[in-house]
Amino acid sequence: MHDSKSLSRRDFLKAGLFGTAGLAGIAAAAQSAATGTAKSPAFAPLPSVPSQDHTGHDLTGTVGDVDTSRFDPMQYLTHFDYGRISRLPTGQTLREWDITAVDAEIEVAPGVYFPAWTYNGTIPGPTLRATEGDRLRVNFYNGGSHPHSIHFHGIHLPSMDGLQVVGSGDRFVYEFDARPFGLHLYHCHVMPLKRHIHKGLYGTFIVDPPGGRAPANEMVMMMNGFDTNFDGENEIYAVNTVAFHYERHPIPLKIGELNRIYLVNITEFDPINSFHLHAGMFKLYRTGTRPDQWEYTDTVMMCQGERHVLEFTLEYPGRYMIHAHQSELAELGWLGFLEAG
């Protein structure tokens, strides 16, 4: 066992009880422990009585907030990028996007910055959305310091699959038709893959069925994690990057309205992640490719790269907890609330 592990894993977000300074202190401490250059950090011991929320849940969450002017998880949740739309001479719809790989500092918990590689400056990158049969053109520019690519899931020519390395300062145009409909994703596919993915090069890619899906309140949730001290394990987990963000800011939903979550697992280092809804059940459409096939459950386990469409309606007013059902992941940031009213 590595010394830094005992510091970096379970202790990490617990320090959040003491706010930004404590959390940053632990991050710095874990970093120095990993490099073996510094002494023990100055951080406060855990309190003997944990704080609780109004439902009686013990809270291990963070204090304060991230700078939402740079990335607002609440906005990301419901923002879909349909691209620049035009029509080809054949009548086919063309959707075009410009995507730039760029190195950036990303705030993954209040006061904790992660030296990331991103698509268009955020983690996740933009949620790209098209309809089955559209022609897609993605103008990729690698403005980052390392070689990258974009690998899209779905059916297309192998030459458009993102295995070709795009060097720093180089460009590549990915062009293919959107198929099949379902919930897909895109991510960098340059080796070492683990490193390129966990650094933040990924986003959600939705292909709608030709007739669309039933009207619903739609949300995108990418389950992700961050190895803030580069020891090969995540210290922070979240949906949509910021630990505990939807715990501090419950997602407002309407009673009786159909909700649809596009749920993607891109967590690196852990073999699985999971999603659990409290006090409700959802229809689970695996990969979103078969509207006639679903299962009815309240928990789903997902390997890295798996994604599912979840549909549900909430009957009662109040806060419904959502979290990873692996307790450790929940305690390290993957926990939030839906607020029905």
Residues that bind Cu ion (CB under 5 A): 148, 188, 190, 196, 201
From the CB of 188, what's the least distance to Cu ion, in Å?
A: 3
What count of Cα atoms within 13 Å lies in the side-chain half-sphere of residue 341? 7
Of 326, 283, 279, residue with least CA distance to 302: 326
Its sign, for the CA torsion 250, 251, 255, 258, is negative
Alpha-carbon radius of gyration of the chain: 20
Q: Which is nearer to Cu ion, 129 or 189 (CB)?
A: 189
Is the distance from CB of 43 to CB of 25 less than 8 angstroms?
Answer: yes
Cα 89 to chain center, whole Å?
A: 37
Q: Which is nearer to Cu ion, 150 or 284 (CB)?
A: 150
Q: Which is nearer to Cu ion, 197 or 242 (CB)?
A: 197
Q: Are strands 151-152 and 84-87 parallel, antiparallel or unpaired?
A: unpaired
Is the distance from CB of 201 to CB of 169 less than 8 angstroms?
Answer: no
Q: How far apart are CA 169 and CA 146, in angstroms?
A: 9
Q: How far apart are CA 23 and CA 88, in angstroms?
A: 52
Q: Which is nearer to Cu ion, 62 or 118 (CB)?
A: 118
Q: Which is nearer to Cu ion, 196 or 198 (CB)?
A: 196
From the CB of 126, what's the least distance to Cu ion, in Å?
A: 17
From the CB of 77, what's the least distance to Cu ion, in Å?
A: 25
Cα 122 to chain center, whole Å?
A: 11
Q: Which is nearer to Cu ion, 118 or 265 (CB)?
A: 118
From the CB of 108, what's the least distance to Cu ion, in Å?
A: 19
From the CB of 120, what's the least distance to Cu ion, in Å?
A: 14
